[in-house]
Amino acid sequence: MTRLWCAQAWVEGDWASGVLLEADAQGYWERITVGVSAPDDDTPRLACVIPGLVNAHSHAFQRTMASLTERLVSDRPGDDFWGWRERMYQVALRIGPAELEIAAEWLYREMLQAGFTQVCEFHYLHRDQGGKAYADSAELSMALVRAAERAGIGLTLLPTLYMHRGFGQSGLHETQRRFACTPDDVLGWHARIQAEAQTSGRTQLLNAGVALHSLRAVDGDAIRTVAQGLGHSPLHIHVAEQTREVEDCVQHLGQRPVEWLLDQVGLDARWNLVHATHTFPHELAGIARSGAAVVLCPTTEANLGDGFFDFPCALEQGVNWSIGTDSHVNRHPALELQWLEYGQRLQLRQRNLAARHAHAASTAAVLFEGALKGGSAACGQVLGGFRVGQRADAVALETESAPLLGVPSDHRLDAWVMGQPCLPAKSVWVAGKQCDIHPNEALRETWQTQTKSLWG
């Protein structure tokens, strides 16, 4: 059993004092007692503790190119998402299983340091560099599983269906050759990962769903096949990230992406619509009615010039949502939440919009609680915070560090979410076990060497 005593902990949407957290042997909270003195034993005493959050959208291999696409390419007069995508393909064609495993472990330890305790890996690298199947078709998936296990983070692996190069264009481009797969492939990989979790006794840390890359990459029949064969596991899809994508969808399918999914497929609580940047109020209302959710990645959406998601409308409609770091230009949940709020402030020239549209007092609380609730739905694990039956994840904050030093105790969440710089965790527990959140020297050296080699 794990026991933690917290002078202050975020419980049920507010700060509580004198909180004793007790987990069972399986790694779930068994008792949570508020208003008690610290035990007179070796129970760790922590100053300020928050639940771990879910990173609901990750492409681990893209960590190798973070910050390396910030210069104009000489033969392109401008730059946009589609230009960035071509540079991303360069890395996708180079990285092998060993390199992916190193990159993922490095990234996952960064996530733990920041306060993420679970990651949803939207994984579409399946074949070798030449486009041929590995002897073990799950070779790259298993590299991610090993990386997450070594880091200590929870992993929801989402093997991703990718079949076509674009709307009305069957088959993949040569630069997309590593993504090729079928509905049977992704459902088979899903079953394999679920079986791996069961046989290893790690179901509280490892599970699987499936992802559909996008409507431009997967046709309607394939979408229905996967949805019908998946069971109750999470189902993710990129949708409406770019205006060009929306326009092409209307031209080829006769409806906007979210409209088409609502009308032609039918959404439910398994579905997580990643980005959903360019959605109208009636589409957000439809998402809310269906029980589906959206996954927002504000720093990547800003970095790629995607546009602004209508967050105030989503809050008013009661849309469930979570956050992800996507291409990993940022790896800290607080910065994602800041950008989510600040983007709206820049657009609307108002303040504390999340609090206003959620009819609450604290912007930070609305953002944190929304990410906590939506993250649990996105990953398919019980990660609802400090409540009995939820997974025993906890993040201890360093109250003596500059961002929190001198901040009144009831404003610490405001300082953690909205302050600068983004504060690293002091210590982290996942499923009741304390993680070693810092990479060792061997991992540091390997990471530095391989990043240089991947970029030439």
- DSSP classification of residue 345: H
Question: How is residue 317 written in tokens?
Answer: 């409609």
Question: How is residue 219 written in tokens?
Answer: 């046709």
At 77, is the pLDDT very low, low, confident or very high (cuts 50, 70, 90)? low
Q: What is the pLDDT of residue 74?
A: 66
* Cβ contacts of 341 within 8 Å, gap of 6 or more: 311, 352, 353, 354, 363, 367, 418
Cis peptide before 39 (omega within 30 of 0): no
Residue 34: C-alpha distances to residues 8, 22, 30, 46, 50 (Å):
10, 12, 14, 14, 14
Q: What is the pLDDT of residue 227?
A: 97
Q: What is the pLDDT of residue 420?
A: 79
Residue 75: pLDDT over 80:
no
In Å, the largest CA–CA distance within the chain is 69
CA dihedral sign of residues 219, 225, 228, 232: negative
**Each residue's pLDDT tens digit, 18-43:** 999 999 999 999 999 999 999 999 99
At 439, is the pLDDT very low, low, confident or very high (cuts 50, 70, 90)? confident
* Domains of the chain, start order: 2-49+390-441 (2.30.40.10), 52-379 (3.20.20.140)
What whole-number distance in Å separates Cα of residue 27 and Cα of residue 211? Answer: 27
What whole-number distance in Å separates Cα of residue 232 and Cα of residue 209? Answer: 9
Q: What is the pLDDT of residue 453?
A: 78
Q: What is the pLDDT of residue 452?
A: 77
At 456, is the pLDDT very low, low, confident or very high (cuts 50, 70, 90)? low
CA dihedral sign of residues 310, 316, 317, 318: positive
Residue 390: pLDDT over 60:
yes
Question: What residues act catalytically?
Answer: 275, 326
At 421, is the pLDDT very low, low, confident or very high (cuts 50, 70, 90)? confident
At 109, is the pLDDT very low, low, confident or very high (cuts 50, 70, 90)? very high
**Residues 190-194: what's their mean pLDDT?**
98
Mean pLDDT score of the chain: 96
Query: pTM for the full model?
Result: 0.97
Q: What is the pLDDT of residue 214?
A: 98
